[in-house]
Amino acid sequence: TCTIQPDGKIIAGGFFKEVNTCSANNFVRLNTDGSLDHTFNKSTGANGTIRASAIQKNGKIIIGGNFYAYQYKSRNHIARLTKNGTIDNSFDPGTGLNGPVYGVAVQADGKILIGGDFTSYNSTPVRNFIRVNTDGTLDNSFQIGNGADDVVNVIKVQSDGKIIVGGNFQKMNGINTPALVRLNSNGTIDNSFVPHTLNGGSVQSILTLSSGKIMIGGSFLFIENGTYYMGVIRLNSNGSLDTSLKPLTNNET
């Protein structure tokens, strides 16, 4: 995972031990020229893979993944860091999550959306998608009900506050939403967004464009008027297929 800070520096997470021969446990910050930012206090880093990251308005950094500690501090799959990379103790997830995190996003009010493959947060039963308050407590006002019935891979918050969620799921809060859904800012289903059904498919990446259109990437295939769309599509703001983006042919790379 890579996220660009407002100053252009890049925070990068994954599964690695070194960057340019320097010790780095799965998480670093790079300068704009790609060199390692030695002012970022990675210390011992994470003891497992970092799969998702997001930056708050105040510069603090949310990380999620398949780890159990950061800088020797117990953190099950989710943590928040200060601007300089040290663990932020004002964010307390308690016992955290019982499975890996694949997607995180921050809403305008600072609340944090978390998606992945888990069934509990701080000993409270949940299903693969939650929202937590700025202090790390579970936000029970988020109207997601029984959550996603399978893995959530990616979360994007639009400029209007609506939330696009992609993954392996078939249902969100008991409603059929195969692999892709848009929610209102409070977690309810946005019924104005009706995407093509991706039955049996998986959405793994989402890019929101300034035009309001949405790029979707993943493992899926469907046919529209005899045209095959495989792995990459562009949607209009209401979820309908943008047919002006032509799929690659077998002769293209």
195 pLDDT band, cuts 50/70/90, is: confident
Report d(CA 56, CA 249) in Å as an integer: 40
User: Residue 211 is encoded by which pair of tokens?
Assistant: 């035009």
What confidence score (pLDDT) does residue 112 get? Answer: 98
Query: Per-residue pLDDT for 211 more than 50?
Result: yes
| Of 62 and 18, the one with more pLDDT | 62
What confidence score (pLDDT) does residue 17 get? Answer: 78
Query: Per-residue pLDDT for 179 more than 70?
Result: yes
Region of poorest pLDDT, from 6-10, 109-113, 114-118: 6-10
Chain segment 153-167, per-residue pLDDT in tens: 999 999 999 999 999
Q: How far is CA 177 from the centre of its chain?
A: 18
What's the whole-number average pLDDT of the chain?
91
Q: Number of helices (H) and strands (E), helices first, in the chain?
A: 0, 23
- 69-73, long-range: CB < 8 A, 24+ apart: 70/44, 70/45, 70/46, 71/43, 71/44, 71/45, 72/44
User: Residue 109 is encoded by which pair of tokens?
Assistant: 């009010």
Query: Per-residue pLDDT for 96 more than 90?
Result: yes
Rg of the chain's alpha carbons, rounded to an integer?
A: 18
252 pLDDT band, cuts 50/70/90, is: very low
Chain segment 45-64, per-residue pLDDT in tens: 889 999 999 999 999 999 99
Structure pTM?
0.92
- The percentage of residues in the chain with a pLDDT greater than 70, rounded to a whole number, is 96
Chain segment 126-144, per-residue pLDDT in tens: 999 999 999 999 999 999 9
What confidence score (pLDDT) does residue 251 get? Answer: 42
User: Residue 108 is encoded by which pair of tokens?
Assistant: 């305008």
Query: Per-residue pLDDT for 235 more than 70?
Result: yes
- The DSSP result for 179-204, as a single string, is SEEEE-TTS-B-TT--PPP-TT-EEE
What confidence score (pLDDT) does residue 42 get? Answer: 64
Report d(CA 214, CA 35) in Å as an integer: 32
**163 closest CA partner among 199, 126, 188:** 188
What confidence score (pLDDT) does residue 253 get? Answer: 40
Q: How far is CA 17 from the centre of its chain?
A: 23
Range 113-124 average pLDDT? 97
